[in-house]
Amino acid sequence: MQKVTNYFHLHLVSDSTGETLITVARAAAAQYDSIEAIEHVHPLVRNDRQLDRALIEIEASPGIVLYTLVNADLAQRLERFCRDQGAPCVSVLSPVHDVFRTYLNVAQTYKAGAQHELDASYFRRIDALNFTLVHDDGQLAEDADDADVVVIGVSRTSKTPTSIYLANRGVKVANIPFVPGVPIPESVFAATRPLIVGLVASPERIAQIRENRVLSLGSRAFDTSYVDRQAIAQEIAQMRRLCADNGWPLIDVTRRSIEETAAGIIALQRDRKGPLA
């Protein structure tokens, strides 16, 4: 029986980029089967005119309204409007701020987008992203000891997107492809500073992704072992032996999202050296 998906309008009103709201909203929506949100993101709402545009869209497409507005007048106006429209309206960060104020006994600064300041943490993330981009897919492998993390994995284990995600957390990553018959650069074995971690997945999962990739590229000139399950199984076994021989931790990404894989790597790094951030 075909699953029926029900849709609803979800308005995200923010005085900053809206990233916090998007993350919270998607985490909540993911808990409901057969339900999908039609997202209306209203970023950088910092005055009445900007709020007016959001209110017009809320009225045209009624639904749930989530917001993060530090301006009390704008927040009250949004809540009044939603109350009149009969639309549920929730300040996502208010309960968190209440706990912080009570526990810390300090006043809130009410500064929009404070988490996006151009501080040392921001520039560390930019530096990590630049490093990771130029050390993708085995490039400049001689710099392995300058990385925080070296990721080694067979093809189609999401090495690059995992590396980019880590870079956005301020982690410098070099990723090295594991290709049967091609030696891992000696600079990786000589590296003492970074955490070196291997990525694998089930042969079935890798074969499926590789087959889809070949079809999407429309390529007929490719090595059939690239999608052969037995050859892939041998490739994975070699990767596992490489990590076991060198004492490198191994993560199976078969049922992991990129975020979960990155979180696992950060946990390994924290256990090894202490917090990264």
Query: Residue 223's pLDDT is what?
Result: 63
Distance of alpha carbon 264 from the chain centroid: 13
Give the predicted TM-score (pTM) of the model.
0.69
Burial class (CB in 10 A: 0-12, 13-18, 19+), 119: exposed
Q: Mean pLDDT for each 10-residue chunk of the chain (277 residues)? A: 84 93 93 93 96 97 96 96 96 89 80 61 89 96 97 96 95 96 96 97 94 76 77 96 97 95 94 62
Residues in the chain: 277
Binding positions for ADP are 153-160
C-alpha dist (Å) from residue 257 to 158, 162, 262: 9, 9, 9
pLDDT of 111: 67
Contact at 8 Å (CB) between 76 and 52? no
Q: Is 252 in contact with 200 (CB distance < 8 Å)?
A: yes
Which residues does 78 contact at the CB level (< 8 Å), separation at least 6? 13, 51, 54, 55, 65, 67, 69, 89
- For residue 175, give both structure tokens: 């990723």
Q: What are 254's two structure tokens?
A: 């078969």
Q: What is the pLDDT of residue 148?
A: 97
- In angstroms, how far is the first alpha carbon of the chain from the final one? 48
Question: Which residue, chain included where needed, has tokens 């990739």?
Answer: 213
* Binding-site residue set: 153-160
Check residue 113 and give its pLDDT.
54
44, 46, 47, 50: CA torsion to nearest 10 = 10
Position 74, amino acid: L
Q: What are the structure tokens assigned to 243, written together?
A: 């990590």
Give, for 236, the enclosing helix (H) or strand (E): helix 229-246
| Structural domains of the chain, with CATH | 6-104 (3.40.50.2300), 120-273 (3.40.50.300)
CA gap 154, 148 in Å, rounded: 20
